[in-house]
Structure 1
Amino acid sequence: MERRKRWLGFAAFLCLVAAIGAREIRVRPKDDGPVFNHTLATILVEYASAVYMSDLTELFTWTCPRCEGLTKGFEVVELIVDVQNCLQAFVGVAGDLNSIVIAFRGTQEHSIQNWIEDLFWKQLDIQYPGMPSAMVHRGFYYAYHNTTIRPAILSAIERAKYMYGVENIMITGHSMGGAMASFCGLDLAVNCGERNIQVLTFGQPRIGNAAFASYYSQLVPNTIRVTNGHDLVPHLPPYIPRLPQRTYHHFPREVWLYDVELGSSVYPSEKICDESGEDPSCSRSVTGNSLSDHLTYYGVELFAATWGSCSIVWDPRWTEYGSKDIRGNILLSKNNAESSLKRPSASGAKLDIV
């Protein structure tokens, strides 16, 4: 009964906001924004899917069922599992992309319904350091900055650069993993001085207000958020135009996947949205009411194979490659001697990424 009252109250609040009218907030992007590369998106979505795997042996050796296809030949440098906070990420090198790839896992299925409900009510509650008036979601910010994830990733990036001579960095993730990927990209640009950063996420929620979105688009201009159909998560936390300082606001640029019906046929389409971050003709033009649209992008499943808790499959033989701390968090690492992927050569085949 209490939950029903909360939902009714929220619905009434949104109706009131709609009745008052909307005043759109404009986000100033850097230059014309990033160029969307469809081929790259279909590759990175497979990395965003693979990071959901719970068998650490298969994931670390890149032999999992989701480790074939467009990501074949990828080499994991570091696999991070923060058991305490139910977080997982990996850092590795993709020779065909000539890039370091970082992928973050999204919310586990057993908690996604509660997580989505919480996002309806979540207020902006922390100021991003060094950005006046920029407010962000504390949970997403802490998931990246205040866990074992950040230090392990920064260390792995430096090791990957040394092992493979690669400078480009591509960051991806789905759902909450997309939020963490965005904070990672910003961290690398602001605090680590990285310049060759590309962020491409799938079905990520809003993570900050309009001031934050403006800063982000200036500092990490090569960022794409892919949204799908009626996916409910990109609509969360709610965007309320009449509360410009307190409302959440997406940063640009969005690419919206939707279906076009022509007679009895349905054709998948991609729309590159405007530079505002909140293009009313893209995902905001439809109701965000679909969980199934959230869990599949480009035909790729973005959830764990088993609907369960944050359990993992650990092979004791892999203890030589990593360790567990007193909280059960796991790091699996490769050094240069264990690498089978050679440094990219000038004559090697590469995917031209813009």
Structure 2
Amino acid sequence: MEPRRWLAAAVLMCVLVLCSGRELKAKDAPTYDPALARTLAEYTSAVYTADLTQLFTWTCERCGDLTEGFEVIELIVDVKNCLQAYVGFAKDMNAVIVVFRGTQENSIQNWIEDLFWKQLDLDYPGMPEAKVHSGFYSAYHNTTLRDGVVSGIQKTREVYGNIPIMVTGHSMGGAMASFCALDLVVSNKFCPQSKIVGDWKSSMIGHNPWEELEHLKINFRLKDVKLMTFGQPRIGNAVFASNFNRSLPDTIRMTNSHDIVPHLPPYYQYFPQKTYHHFPREVWIHSVGLGSFVYSIEEICDGSGEDPTCSRSVSGNSVNDHIHYLGISMHAESLGHCRIVTDDRILQYNMDTAGNIVLFKQPGLSVNELHSAQ
């Protein structure tokens, strides 16, 4: 039996080398950092904390280990649409972290079933023939999340400098995170209009003024935004995916074994221009091995976004694989409706007429120091 065990181990090692190294030498492929993936998975897990006071003060059970010492600057809760995101500063990474929560429905199965019937129905601005899922697009662009997230990023960078921005999210939160990251690099929300106009006027001589203005706008767009999502659904067609990849070439999209959500909305290979299409680059977590020699690997897939040898090679029928990534739970602590802050005595917050809440504090000031100042 012993020689057989050694033979099985040798075969397994060959499989591991072939699978895990297949795309490591691909040109223009983003660098996959397993340690960063686990850290961002912990940040994403924390957003599912039911007690928002614990989340805002970073004292929740999931707010430790690789994310210890994180400083939440802004926490946005869209009560009507049951959406949530937070923005803060990670000192060890010297970066702004932006995290979006996934669906908080009583039954995730209902949400999954809905995705089978969703159709491409919105033209993405500035991208001819690029169509996207209007529900995911609107969840970020047409709710309180967008303004709250941008405000949190601006506050954080005003204090800590023009540090990189890491955007992440799980499930539907991954879809919103994707639209957020794209928004940050293609919009001009971080470019003061007076700065654009002032520089434009000073450089008009000898140039087409409108071309020059557009050039200045592009130069002021954010260039240090990175995105990593977990178990996100498809959000647009192939044209959108191609444009997305050009704008955010360092994106990593994590999928886990038979997770059902990355298979939705369905991909119809015979209608490539009319169907939903993932943007690259996928990293597929799955198990390989023989007998008792089974290991979990993180396979870097090809640059198509729809690598047939990665998650598309399996049935994709597991909800359990959707709520566990890298050994970290992505499951909500509460299956009920949106939870509001349980103790607002130590927190600053604004509430609009619709009941939406934005919790905030001055960057660099602890919650206890904020309470003392109040």
Q: TM-score range with shorter-chain normalisation?
A: 0.7 to 0.9
1:327 deviates by 1.3
Measure, in 1, the Cα distance between the counterparts of 2:289 and 2:283.
19
Map residues 129-168 of structure 1 onto 2, 5 A cutoff: 129-168=125-164
Q: What is the DSSP-based 3-state SS (H/G/I as helix, E as strand, rest coil) of the residue aligned with 2:166?
A: strand
Q: What is the DSSP-based 3-state SS (H/G/I as helix, E as strand, rest coil) of the residue aligned with 1:276?
A: coil
The residue number in structure 2 matching 1:112 is 108
Q: 1:225 aligned to 2:253?
A: yes
The residue number in structure 1 matching 2:211 is none
The residue number in structure 2 matching 1:191 is 187
Q: Identity of counterpart residues, as a percentage?
A: 60
1:339 deviates by 4.4
The residue number in structure 2 matching 1:332 is 359
Runs of 4+, deviation exceeding 4 Å:
none
Pairing partner for 1:273 from 290, 298, 301: 301
Measure, in 1, the Cα distance between the counterparts of 2:245 and 2:320.
29
Measure, in 2, the Cα distance between the counterparts of 1:262 and 1:33.
30
Question: 5+ unaligned residues in a row in structure 1: which ranges?
Answer: 1-29, 341-354
Counterpart amino acid of residue 261 in structure 1: G
Deviation digits for residues 208-260 of structure 1, max 9, x if unmatched? Answer: 00000000000011100000000000000000011122200000000000011
Measure, in 2, the Cα distance between the counterparts of 1:326 and 1:156.
21
Question: 5+ unaligned residues in a row in structure 2: which ranges?
Answer: 1-25, 189-220, 368-374
The residue number in structure 2 matching 1:286 is 314
Measure, in 2, the Cα distance between the counterparts of 1:91 and 1:302.
18
Q: What is the DSSP-based 3-state SS (H/G/I as helix, E as strand, rest coil) of the residue aligned with 2:96?
A: strand
- TM, length-normalised to structure 2: 0.81
Measure, in 2, the Cα distance between the counterparts of 1:226 and 1:336.
30
- 2:52–2:339 CA contact under 8 A, matched in 1: no
The residue number in structure 2 matching 1:237 is 265
Q: 1:296 aligned to 2:324?
A: yes
Q: How many residues align?
A: 310
User: Which has the larger displacement, 304-313 or 143-152?
Assistant: 304-313
1:195 deviates by 0.5
Larger Rg computed on CA atoms: 2
- TM, length-normalised to structure 1: 0.85
1:191 deviates by 0.2
The residue number in structure 1 matching 2:49 is 53
Measure, in 2, the Cα distance between the counterparts of 1:196 and 1:337.
22
1:166 deviates by 4.3
CA RMSD of aligned residues (A): 1.5
- 1:175–1:205 CA contact under 8 A, matched in 2: yes
Q: 1:70 aligned to 2:66?
A: yes
- 1:137–1:207 CA contact under 8 A, matched in 2: yes
- 1:230–1:293 CA contact under 8 A, matched in 2: yes
Q: What is the DSSP-based 3-state SS (H/G/I as helix, E as strand, rest coil) of the residue aligned with 1:110?
A: coil
The residue number in structure 1 matching 2:4 is none
The residue number in structure 2 matching 1:40 is 36
Counterpart amino acid of residue 355 in structure 2: G
Pairing partner for 1:248 from 276, 288, 306: 276
- 2:51–2:340 CA contact under 8 A, matched in 1: yes
Deviation digits for residues 240-288 of structure 1, max 9, x if unmatched? Answer: 0111222000000000000112321321111100000000000000001
Measure, in 1, the Cα distance between the counterparts of 2:318 and 2:123.
31
Q: What is the DSSP-based 3-state SS (H/G/I as helix, E as strand, rest coil) of the residue aligned with 2:81?
A: coil
Counterpart amino acid of residue 87 in structure 2: V
